[in-house]
């Protein structure tokens, strides 16, 4: 039976067909859908781990117990998991252990575009790369066999265009598995005391030599001889693009990209006139091939180091070197009709609880140390209220480091908010990597204000469960990790929960906590409108009161727009189908022109104290809200 | 050789030209579901098919594209700019933004709906006024469809994507029964009738 599957769905299917018993991951684009699909196979235990390091260790544990285990993460997640990964290379495995690293060339949804193929060389692990969904499934099964045969974790690398592209896959079955009934010990192998590890290292080196020999004959690597004037070595998505651009050329398609088959590559070199290496990001293959003493006629001297490729880019680059047989349709570079079109960047949803906090932070002019999530959009106009964002959890530690080197205020001086750094972090990111930096602040007497935007989901990746949501990936009930209790347990005395849709309250509390001379945590608690399917009544504009001052537009909400009125002036209009009734724009309006639903005007707005408690408090009752499937 | 390796796929060697269809829209408009219907239809008609989109940040009200390619043997999951046969856009500005992905003589079918991007909502930019003229100046084969009105007429505003599929259906080599079977299968059960009406209303748009 055939199905159209994404690369991620195909990996999940491959795990099921390979007899995987355990799968662990932390969500991260473009890897997230693997575990979401695995969760559909009820005979695999699957979990969202709090972070990638934990996921890697959980996978290693299952492997040590004799089970096949799948661990998945985005490229930067492997940085987090690198500690167990590098030593797992020494311990080896019992059950097959495969780590999927989903790289993101072009940074569609990432903070860098690191090339994780380098991890294979660094950690001395075999690297398998599929080029479409069928290979994603079939190669994953081979990767598990490789893992067990060579006693090694296997890196399985996809990129966004493999993970999120769909193509045809032939489905297979899952083997019957004997239950695991006892933990067998292999202490010398798994206890990495120096005296044991020193014996493992030569085994690792020999394993690479054995794998290089295997690479010469494995069907993961395929030679497809065509026109011998052009030979192309490629893997993954780059292979598909190159094949589209030079469909008649000779190809050495590598599915095992580390270690490389020196003999196979040398033979291919001999059989073609010109040899090109086509790879996105780093010259990983090219450098390894040149180190073998094999001449490469074109690689990173012709193709970019940055971003992702497409067939046209490869066609143009190699045609410029007079490579024959190019698909000439791909050569022209079309120009946009207009290059001055307004961008359509991602934006906070109408009704999003992050909006009020960033509107206030912009006003306060503090240094905002940000983190990874939907709320990173607070860095974009009109908020522009985020001044750094590096990696998961770094908001808190960076703000702390900044705070510790700021000169103390002069005696009796008025508080200057520009001397303050504030950390902003979401709930899932806090559980991932925010706990230890907050512990650092408490332990070392930091004075940083940390704002935890607790919207009860892992928003940016599509609303996955986390330790704060009360449910697991497999849909089982779970205890809800209590953030205020955690913070107090660390030794933070000032822990305050606020409603982020009440801007007056947000500003009052933030000013008070910034003035405090000790560490403080403010938890802005309001559920994600998207994931919990919260739909509030839309607000409206009283056109007689609106003078077109545009102050409300600072809310950065796509439900608001400027229209021309009859007198040639401009007014704001609220699109009822877009508005989600949070009332932030009304709180920005100085003319009481934005009117609450069912009131004309709303009492709170008319009185000049524009907090919208009736609107904001209802969705705050998380227990009553049913989280939507997404 | 391992057992799994014996099952490793071989390169298919199909023939026949590849059709390139680029779908554009705004996050939340159902671009992904429409792409799913198209890819299922292509598979049901016996074509090789690849489809590619990007998830993650772009979902948050951002500009969204999906690449659909089908034919004898499809290599790249991505269309190369300047080679698309059809641009199907669910929003006017997103049609203009991607129209240069079409090959010379390519077809544009777009929804006349205007959704303000965030810079326009924030008063930092203007929504372009003369989208239809600008597209026609370079690509004369343009069909504008008021898909939101037709979706409402069909009984579900969310069926805009299916209206657009109906509008473009006459240009694609998929049988009427194929469309119907797949749409019935993939839309929520309660919305089957509205979506079938939406498809038929879209089909009456004079694209062909």
The stretches in chain A having pLDDT less than 70 are 599-630
Given a contact cutoff of 8 angstroms between Cβ atoms, the answer to whether A323 and A230 are in contact is yes
pLDDT for the residue B7: 35
Topology of the domain comprising A2-215:
Rossmann fold (3.40.50)
| CA closest to B64 among chain A residues | A344
pTM value surpassing 0.90: yes
CB contact under 8 A, A462 and B80: no
Given a contact cutoff of 8 angstroms between Cβ atoms, the answer to whether A258 and A117 are in contact is yes
Given a contact cutoff of 8 angstroms between Cβ atoms, the answer to whether A337 and B134 are in contact is yes
Residues of B169-200 as b/e, b for ≥16 C-beta within 10 angstroms? bebbebeeebbeebbeeebeeebeebbbbbbb
**Among B54, B69, B117, B132, which would you mutate to test the A interface (most chain A Cβ atoms within 10 Å of its Cβ)?**
B54
**Among A104, A110, A166, A384, which would you mutate to test the B interface (most chain B Cβ atoms within 10 Å of its Cβ)?**
A166
| CA closest to B158 among chain A residues | A577
In chain B, where do the E strands start and end? 19-26, 48-53, 63-71, 84-89, 102-111, 142-145
| Among candidates B54, B125, B137 on the partner chain, residue whose Cβ is nearest the Cβ of A160 | B54
pLDDT for the residue A598: 83
CB contact under 8 A, B80 and A330: yes
| Among candidates B76, B118, B125 on the partner chain, residue whose Cβ is nearest the Cβ of A558 | B118
Output the CA–CA distances (angstroms, integers) from residue A297 to A71, A84, A230, A253, B176, in the order listed: 38, 39, 10, 17, 51
- Is the pLDDT at B11 greater than 80? The verdict is no
Mean of pLDDT values over B1-23 = 59
SS3 A520: strand
Kind of pairing between the strands at A165-170 and B48-53: antiparallel
pLDDT for the residue A302: 98
CB contact under 8 A, B77 and A138: no
Q: Does domain A221-330 have CATH number 3.40.50.920?
A: yes
Domain ranges of chain A: 2-215, 221-330, 354-525, 540-595
Phi first, then psi: give them for residue A450, nearest 5 degrees. -110, 125
Q: How do residues A182-202 score in pLDDT, each as one tens digit?
A: 999 999 999 999 999 999 999
- Cβ of residue B53 closer than 8 Å to a chain A Cβ: yes
Q: Does domain A354-525 have CATH number 3.40.50.970?
A: yes
- Cβ of residue B15 closer than 8 Å to a chain A Cβ: no
pLDDT for the residue A605: 40
> What part of B 28-47 touches A (C-beta under 8 Å)?
39-40, 43
Topology of the domain comprising A540-595:
Alpha-Beta Plaits (3.30.70)
pLDDT for the residue A340: 87
Task: Look at the block and give the residue holding tokens 């690398």.
Answer: A157
**How far is A357 from A337, CA to CA, in rounded Å?**
38
Return the structure tokens found at A511.
Answer: 């000013």
Q: How do residues B26-45 score in pLDDT, each as one tens digit?
A: 988 999 999 999 999 999 99
Q: How do residues B76-92 score in pLDDT, each as one tens digit?
A: 999 999 999 999 999 99
CB contact under 8 A, B117 and A134: no
Same fold, A221-330 and A354-525: yes
């Amino acid at each position: 039976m055939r199905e159209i599957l994404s690369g991620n769905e195909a990996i999940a299917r491959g795990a099921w067909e390979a007899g995987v018993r355990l799968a662990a991951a932390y969500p991260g684009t473009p890897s997230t859908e693997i575990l979401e699909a695995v969760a559909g196979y009820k005979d695999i235990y699957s979990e969202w781990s709090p972070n990638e390091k934990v996921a890697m260790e959980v996978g290693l544990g299952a492997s040590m117990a004799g089970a096949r285990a799948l661990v998945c993460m985005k490229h930067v997640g492997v940085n987090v998991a690198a500690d167990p990964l590098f030593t797992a290379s020494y311990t080896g495995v019992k059950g097959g252990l495969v780590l999927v690293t989903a790289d993101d060339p072009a940074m569609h949804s990432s903070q860098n575009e690191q090339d994780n193929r380098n991890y294979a060389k660094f950690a001395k692990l075999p690297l398998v790369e599929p080029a479409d969904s069928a290979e994603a499934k079939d190669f994953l099964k081979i990767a598990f066999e490789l893992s067990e045969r060579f006693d090694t974790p296997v890196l399985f690398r996809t990129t966004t265009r493999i993970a999120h592209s769909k193509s045809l896959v032939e489905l297979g079955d899952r083997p019957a598995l004997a239950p695991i009934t006892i933990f067998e010990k292999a202490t010398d192998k798994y206890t990495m005391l120096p005296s044991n590890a020193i014996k493992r290292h030569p085994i690792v080196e020999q394993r690479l030599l054995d794998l290089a020999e295997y690479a010469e004959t494995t069907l993961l690597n395929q030679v497809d001889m065509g026109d011998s004037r052009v030979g192309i070595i490629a893997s993954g998505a780059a292979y598909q693009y190159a094949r589209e651009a030079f469909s008649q050329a000779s190809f050495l398609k590598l599915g095992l990209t580390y270690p490389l088959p020196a003999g196979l590559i040398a033979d291919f070199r001999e059989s073609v006139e010109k040899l090109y290496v086509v790879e996105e990001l780093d010259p990983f293959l090219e450098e390894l091939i040149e180190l073998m003493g094999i001449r490469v006629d074109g690689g990173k001297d012709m193709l970019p180091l940055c971003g992702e490729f497409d067939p046209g880019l490869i066609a143009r680059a190699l045609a410029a070197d007079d490579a024959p047989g190019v698909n000439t349709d791909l050569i022209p570079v079309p120009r946009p009709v207009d290059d001055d079109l307004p961008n359509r960047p991602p934006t906070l949803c109408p009704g999003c609880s992050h909006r009020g906090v960033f509107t206030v932070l912009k006003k306060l002019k503090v240094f905002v140390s940000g983190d990874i999530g939907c709320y990173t959009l607070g860095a974009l106009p009109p908020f522009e209220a985020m001044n750094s964002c590096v990696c998961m959890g770094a908001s808190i530690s960076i703000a702390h480091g900044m705070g510790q080197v700021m000169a103390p205020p002069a005696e009796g001086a008025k508080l200057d908010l520009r001397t303050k750094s504030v950390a902003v972090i979401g709930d899932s990111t806090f559980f991932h990597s925010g706990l230890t930096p907050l512990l650092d602040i408490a332990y070392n007497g930091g004075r940083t204000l940390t704002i935890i935007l607790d919207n009860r989901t892992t928003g940016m990746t599509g609303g996955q469960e986390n330790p704060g949501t009360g449910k697991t990936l497999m849909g089982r009930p779970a205890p809800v990790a209590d953030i205020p209790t955690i913070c107090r347990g660390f030794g933070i005395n000032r822990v305050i929960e606020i409603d982020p849709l009440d801007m007056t309250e947000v500003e009052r509390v933030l000013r008070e906590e910034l003035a405090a001379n000790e560490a403080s945590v403010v938890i802005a608690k309001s559920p994600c409108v998207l994931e919990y399917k919260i739909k509030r009544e839309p607000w409206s504009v009283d056109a007689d009161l609106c003078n077109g001052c545009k102050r409300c537009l600072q809310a950065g909400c796509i439900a608001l727009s400027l229209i021309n009125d009859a007198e040639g002036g401009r007014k704001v209009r609220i699109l009822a189908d877009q508005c989600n009734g949070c009332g932030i724009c009304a709180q920005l309006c100085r003319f009481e022109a934005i009117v609450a639903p069912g009131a004309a005007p709303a009492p709170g707005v008319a009185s000049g104290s524009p907090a919208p408690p009736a609107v904001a408090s209802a969705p705050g009752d998380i227990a009553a809200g049913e989280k939507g499937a997404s | 050789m391992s057992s799994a390796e014996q099952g490793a796929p071989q390169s298919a060697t199909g023939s026949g030209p590849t059709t390139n269809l680029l779908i554009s829209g705004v996050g939340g408009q159902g671009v992904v579901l429409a792409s799913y219907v198209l890819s299922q239809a292509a598979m049901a008609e016996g074509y090789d098919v690849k489809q590619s989109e990007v998830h993650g940040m772009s979902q948050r009200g951002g500009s969204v594209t999906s690449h659909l390619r089908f034919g004898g043997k499809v290599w790249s999951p991505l269309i190369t700019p300047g080679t698309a046969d059809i641009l199907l856009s669910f929003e006017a500005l997103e049609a203009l933004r991607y129209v240069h992905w079409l090959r010379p003589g390519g077809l544009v079918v777009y929804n006349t709906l205007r959704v303000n991007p965030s810079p326009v909502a924030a008063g930092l930019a203007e929504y372009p006024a003369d989208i239809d003229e600008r597209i026609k100046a370079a690509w004369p084969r343009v069909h504008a469809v008021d898909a939101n009105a037709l979706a409402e007429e069909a009984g579900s505003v969310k069926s805009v994507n299916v209206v657009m599929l109906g509008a473009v259906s006459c240009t694609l080599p998929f049988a009427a029964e194929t469309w119907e079977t797949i749409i019935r299968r993939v839309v929520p059960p309660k919305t089957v009738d509205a979506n079938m009406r939406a498809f038929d209303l879209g089909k009456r748009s004079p694209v062909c």
